[in-house]
Structure 1
C-alpha cells in the first residue's frame, strides 16, 4: 500500500482532530503530517511538508482557505471543508478534488478518496481561474455592514465598523459600541458567518470581538484563562480556552 501524506487546516483544534480520525478509518494509507490553524500557516506547512493532499477550512482567521489555495497556485490538490454551504460553488465540482460540509461522515469521505484516485492528481487549468474568481469574491464578500438594533424604545442603524463586540444570551445579542449599547434578535451562531472574519473573532461561545479594538490581552490568574481589554470600553472580556490559540501567536 503506497503511503500518502495530507495537511489539515482548520482554526478549531477539535475539527482538525475529528477529520484526522475519520481519515484514519476511511483512508488509512493517507498519513496526516501537519495541522494548521489558519490559511497562512497552511501555506507555510504545505511548502515545508509537500503533502499529497491539503484539506482546507474556508473561514479561518489571518487568511481564508480560498486565499491559501490561490497562494499555493495548484502546487497541491485541495479539498475544501467548511461548516457553511454558502461557499459551495458548483464550479468546484469541475475543478476541486472535493468540497465537504462539516461534520464530515465516513461515506462522504470515501467518495473524496475515490475522486482523488480517479484523478491521480491532474488539476484542470480551469480550477485556477475558479480559485482566482472566488478569491476576488472573498476579498469583497457580502458581509454585514449595518446592524439595525434597538436602543431603548428606538431603532438605530449601527455600522459594524463602530461595534466593539457582540455578546449573546439565550434570546438577545448585545451590540456594544464606544457610545452605546443596543440589542438585536440574532444569535452569535447566526451572526458569525455574516461578519468579516478579518474584522471579528469569536473568543467565547457567546462573544464576538472586533480585532482592531483589542488593546491588551492578559492572563486571568483566577480562572487560568485570558481577558481582553478593548479600547473605548472598561469591561474586560473573557476568552474561553477553546479560542486562546488566537492570541498565543500574537
Structure 2
C-alpha cells in the first residue's frame, strides 16, 4: 500500500533531503504535503488526514509533542530528530520508530521494512499516554556544573571544564582531570550518561569524554578511532564501534 505522507520540519533543507530519500520508495510513500512548524503541521494534518507523518521535535510555535497533543486525528508517526541514542530509548519503549539526523539510507530502509511488516499493528499509532511518556523522558536534563568526589575526609567539587574524561575500570569509574589527576566516583557510566551535559559524549561502553578537551582523532584498527585528549597525560582513548554515530555527529566527520 501507499501511505499518504506529510513531512513536518522547521528546516527546509531537511524536508528537501527527506523528499530525495523517499523517492526510492515511491510505491510506499505518497507525499501529499509539508509544514515548517508545529502549527502548520496541526492544520495540514487535520485537513488532509494523512496515513503517516515524518515529524521533527524541536520546532517554533508548537513543538512536535505539543502538536501531537492537540491532534484530533492521529496518523502513524516517524520522528526525525537530532536527539542522541540514549534519549531514543523513549521511542523504542513506545513501539514507534525514529530517524536520527543526518538520516542514513540504511537506517531508512529498516524503518520502511518495519512499517511494511506492522501495517496492521495499531501499536504504531501514538496514544496520548505514549506522547506524554516520551515527552517526559526527553525533557532537558537538570543543569549542573560540577561533580563531587571523595578525597580522604574531604569532598572535592570538580567543575566540568576541569574534567578530561571518565573511564570505567573493573568495578570503578574514574574521573580524570585535565591536570592529570584521577578520582574514584560513585557513578556508573550509564548514570553519568544521564547526568552530564551535552558537551560530554560516550565514545565506548567504558568511556565518556569532554568534547571541549579533545585535541584530535587518529584512525585506528577495524574502523575505530583513538581520541587524543588535551590533558597533561595526552591520553589516547579508543572508540567503540557502536558509539561511532555519537562521535561523528559531534565532530562532523
Give the TM-score category using the shorter length.
0.5 to 0.7
Q: Which runs of 5+ in 1 are unaligned?
A: 8-38, 56-67, 80-90, 117-130
Residue equivalent to 1:123: none
Residue equivalent to 2:58: 70
CA offset at residue 176 of structure 1? 0.8
Residue equivalent to 1:17: none
CA offset at residue 171 of structure 1? 2.6
Q: Aligned pair 1:48/2:23, yes or no?
A: no
Residue equivalent to 1:190: 191
TM-score w.r.t. the length of structure 1 is 0.53
Could you say if the C-alpha distance between residues 220 and 6 of structure 1 is closer, same or farther in structure 2, counting changes exceeding 3 Å? Answer: farther
CA offset at residue 219 of structure 1? 0.9
Deviations 1:192-224, CA, capped at 9 Å, x for gaps: 111112x11110011110111111101124x54
* Structure 2 Cα separation of the partners of residues 143 and 172 of structure 1: 25
Question: Any residues of structure 2 matched to 1:46-195 within 5 Å, and which?
Answer: 46-50=15-19, 52-54=52-54, 69-71=57-59, 78=64, 94-95=69-70, 101-104=90-93, 110-111=121-122, 113-115=124-126, 138=140, 141-151=141-151, 154-179=154-179, 180-195=181-196
* Structure 2 Cα separation of the partners of residues 191 and 43 of structure 1: 35
**Over the residues paired in the alignment, what is the CA RMSD in angstroms?**
4.3
CA offset at residue 43 of structure 1? 7.3
Q: Is the 8 A contact 2:96 2:124 kept in 1?
A: no
Q: Is the 8 A contact 2:204 2:240 kept in 1?
A: yes
* Structure 2 Cα separation of the partners of residues 43 and 169 of structure 1: 45
* Structure 1 Cα separation of the partners of residues 54 and 203 of structure 2: 27
Aligned residues: 173
* Structure 1 Cα separation of the partners of residues 187 and 147 of structure 2: 10
- Please state whether the residue corresponding to 1:101 is helix, strand or coil: helix
Q: Is the 8 A contact 2:95 2:124 kept in 1?
A: no
Could you say if the C-alpha distance between residues 160 and 243 of structure 1 is closer, same or farther in structure 2, counting changes exceeding 3 Å? Answer: same
Residue equivalent to 1:235: 235
CA offset at residue 230 of structure 1? 0.7
CA offset at residue 44 of structure 1? 4.0
Q: Which runs of 5+ in 2 are unaligned?
A: 20-30, 32-51, 80-88, 98-117, 128-134
* Structure 2 Cα separation of the partners of residues 113 and 211 of structure 1: 36
TM-score w.r.t. the length of structure 2 is 0.53
